[in-house]
A = this chain, B = another copy of it.
Amino acid sequence: MMAVTLAQAINHALVDAMEADPRVLVLGEDVGRLGGVFRVTDGLLSKFGEQRCIDTPLAESGIIGASVGLAMAGWRPVPEIQFDGFAYPAFEQIVSHVAKFANRSRGTVRLPMTIRIPFGGGIGAIEHHSESPETYWAHTSGLKVFVPATPDDAYSMMREAIVADDPVIFLEPKRRYWTKADVELPVSTAPARQALVRRDGSTVTVFAYGPMVKTALDAAAVADDHGWSLQVVDLRSLSPLDVDTIVSSVQQTGRAIVVHEASRTLGMGAEIAALIQEHAFYALEAPVLRVTGFDTPYPPARLENFWLPGVDRILDAVQQVLTY
C-alpha cells in the first residue's frame, strides 16, 4: 500500500498500459519533455521514447485527427487535451469521426482511443481552464465517457479505457489531482459502467461524479448532524449510464438530487432526472433536484466558489426534497 494522488494513479496506469501493450502511445501538447502541465505523463518520454510519447504541434484538431490515423494504423493512441476548454478545436474530429467511425464502417474500423481531458473548476484558474463539457460528449452517440473520482478508480478506469476498443473520453477531475489515497497498484475496481454506492443512506440519494463525489460525501457527513442519511452514488461512467443502479437507489430512498459543476440546463442532472421519473415514477416522493453550476459562463477565479456547488447548496436541496 502506498499513498498515491489521483494524478500519480493515472501516470501509473499509463506506464503499466504502455508496458503491457507496445501499441499504446501518448501524444499531445507538452506531454513529453515537460511531462504534461499536471505531470500526468511525467517520465513517459524517457521510459518509452519519442515515438510513444509525442510532443505535438499546438493544434488540437491535429492531435485528434492524427490519432484517428494512428489508430487505423494499428496503434492505440491516448491523446491528451491540455485543458477542458481546448478540446473545442477538435470537436469536429471527435464528433464526426471518433464517435462515428465504427458505425460508419459497420464495425470494420474501430478506433481504440482514450482522449484524456483534465476538466472542471475549483483550482483558481483563468478562463477556459475550468470547463465542464461532459454534456457535449455524453450526448454524442458513439463515445464513452468515464470520470473517475478516486485514485484507485483513476488507475483502473484508465486501464479499462485503454484496452477498450470503443473510443473513451476520459475526464480527469483536475481539482482532485492531488487527492491522496492508500492504494496498492495495480488495482482493479469495478467496471466503469457500474455506478458505485460510495456511502449508504436511506433518506435521499445524491448522485455525483468526478470532482463532486467528495463534495457530496462532505455534505453527507454534515447531513448526519441534521439526522439526514444521504446515500451517495458515484456515477463513474456518464456514457453509458448505469440506469439500474440509479433507479434502484431511488427506489430505496424515494428522493434524489444530482450534483455537478456543469451548468444546469441540459447538464447530466437533466438526463438523470428524466431517467428517474421514467423508471421510478411511483417511487419518487419529491422531484429530483439539480445542484449545479449556474447557467452562466464559468466565472472568474475569485468568484468561482460562489458559483460552484458546495456543501451548502447540496444541503439546501436535501432540505427541499425532504419538505416536499
In the complex, how many angstroms separate the beta carbon of A25 from the nearest chain B beta carbon? 25
A120 located at the interface, meaning its Cβ lies under 8 Å from any Cβ of chain B in the complex: no
Most buried by B among A138, A241, A287: A287
Stretch at the interface among A3-11, A93-101, A210-218, A221-229: A93-101
Within 8 A of B (CB), among A222-275: 239, 241, 262-263, 265-271, 273-274
Q: Using CB atoms and an 8 Å cutoff, list the residues of chain A in contact with chain B.
A: 61, 85, 88-89, 91-92, 95-96, 99-100, 103-104, 127-128, 135-136, 138-139, 141-142, 239, 241, 262-263, 265-271, 273-274, 277-279, 281, 284, 286-290, 294-297, 324
Question: Which of B104, B265, B281 has a CB less than 8 Å from the CB of A287?
Answer: B281
Contact A128 B288 (CB under 8 A): no
Whether A135 and B139, one on each chain, are in contact in the complex, defined by CB atoms closer than 8 angstroms, is yes
**Could you tell me if B128 and A96 are in contact, using CB atoms closer than 8 angstroms?**
yes
In the complex, how many angstroms separate the beta carbon of A93 from the nearest chain B beta carbon? 8
Partner of A288, one of B92, B266, B277: B277
Cα distance, A121 to B99, chains bound together (Å): 19
Q: How far is the CA of A297 from the CA of B140 in the complex (A)?
A: 8
